[in-house]
Amino acid sequence: MTDTTFDTLHNPTFLQACMRQATPHTPVWLMRQAGRYLPEYVATRAKAGSFMGLATNRDYATEVTLQPLDRYPLDAAILFSDILTVPDAMGLGLSFAQGEGPRFAFPVRDEAAVAKLEVPDMAKLQYVFDAVSSIRSALTQDGKGRVPLIGFSGSPWTLACYMVEGKGSDDYRLVKTMLYSRPDLMHKMLAINADSVAAYLNAQIDAGAQAVMIFDSWGGVLADGAFQSFSLAYTARVLAQLKRHGADGKVVPRLVFTKGGGLWLQDMKALDCDVLGLDWTVNLGTARALVGGAEYAPGTSGPGKALQGNIDPNVLFAPPAAIELEVAKVLDSFGTPFQGAGTGPTHIFNLGHGISQYTPPEHVAALVAAVHSHSKRLRA
């Protein structure tokens, strides 16, 4: 039987909440918590010389992963890496131009390019797995981990968007042109992406990741129907291949975040994952009623999902008193989390998307403190 006691951690609240177990407070971590809003990150990146110099160096990746934990009492660490490492390992030539974001030298836009795609040799991504092992070691204090380490990947659809567009996009014209005019090519690419992501996340689990998250950052740009066929189905294909526990026998929770995916919560509740992440457009109480309860709606069975999210990242530009007010609104909208033995509805506090590079670091401190204090009051 899979072990869900998490007794190898000083602070297991994140993993407990993932598995819908009671916690003394609502755990909190932030998407992109290791990043450009921290001056110490900027200094380390300058030493590394480039973003990829940072991401591909085990010691630098470890250093920046730990930086936010040294500043704030966060309840989880997330591997410092990028969602585009997998297509880079496929040979698409990833680079980061200063101020421009990621781009690929060899985008995938025709039948010949799709035909060349294959699941990459995971040895090309060894720098990621080395970083996972290094971070796990650095998190260990007195024989136990400070907090759990989350590994991650982009979703098959989100990776395909970047692979076809060659960079970020405002209109998704190229990838949607392929989707509608050559759905056969799109499905072939997505199947390869899904199998690649599964192999990548399993290797992260082997290296020591204690939870894994799939970021479907661009799922919300799809039409209804297309989302189910071209995004959700391939996220499900990844989940079906993932290892359920690490080398230590502990269960490894699986999280799925679809930005703009609130419309499809009813569809996503069938995913074989433990946690659904939500952006700020979704009311947590409504989501809890739909997918977070003890059981699904009549006619279906199985445990509900833990929910993660979902404060608007721009709240962090408001004064600390306003941040505390908005934190309380989010926690109150979920309601009192499950308490007692067994399992029930639980919440992991996070932003509705990644933290902005312009965020004042002291405002993050106000948010984390407010989450811990207000969530304790909710349980009192």
Residues with a known catalytic role: 32, 36, 45, 82, 162
The answer to whether residues 282 and 292 touch, using CB atoms and an 8 Å cutoff, is no
Which pairing describes strands 306-311 and 347-351: parallel, antiparallel, or unpaired?
A: parallel
Question: Dihedral through CA 245, CA 250, CA 252, CA 253, nearest 10?
Answer: 130
Residue 34 marked ligand-binding: yes
Residue 169 marked ligand-binding: no
The answer to whether residues 2 and 244 touch, using CB atoms and an 8 Å cutoff, is yes
The answer to whether residues 229 and 156 touch, using CB atoms and an 8 Å cutoff, is no
Residue 245 marked ligand-binding: no
The tokens of 76 are what? 């989880």
Residue 81 marked ligand-binding: no
The answer to whether residues 256 and 267 touch, using CB atoms and an 8 Å cutoff, is no
Residue 217 marked ligand-binding: yes
Give the three-state DSSP class for 210: coil
Residue 41 marked ligand-binding: no
Task: Using the CB atoms, write b or e for 24-51: b if 16+ within 10 Å.
Answer: ebbbbbbbbbbbebbebbeebbeebeeb
Instruction: Count Cβ atoms below 10 Å from residue 142 Cβ, excluding itself.
Output: 6
CA distance 23 to 182: 48
Which pairing describes strands 77-78 and 140-141: parallel, antiparallel, or unpaired?
A: unpaired
* Range 180-188, long-range pairs (CB < 8 A, 24+ positions): 182/111, 185/111, 185/114, 186/160, 186/230, 187/230, 188/114, 188/117
CA distance 24 to 175: 45
Angle made by CA atoms 93, 114, 218, in degrees to the nearest 5: 70
Residue 162 marked ligand-binding: yes
Residue 353 marked ligand-binding: yes
Name the region of 254 (left: φ>0; alpha: ψ -120 to 50; beta: rest). Answer: beta
Annotated binding site: 32-36, 82, 162, 217, 353
Which residues make up each annotated binding site for substrate?
A: 32-36, 82, 162, 217, 353
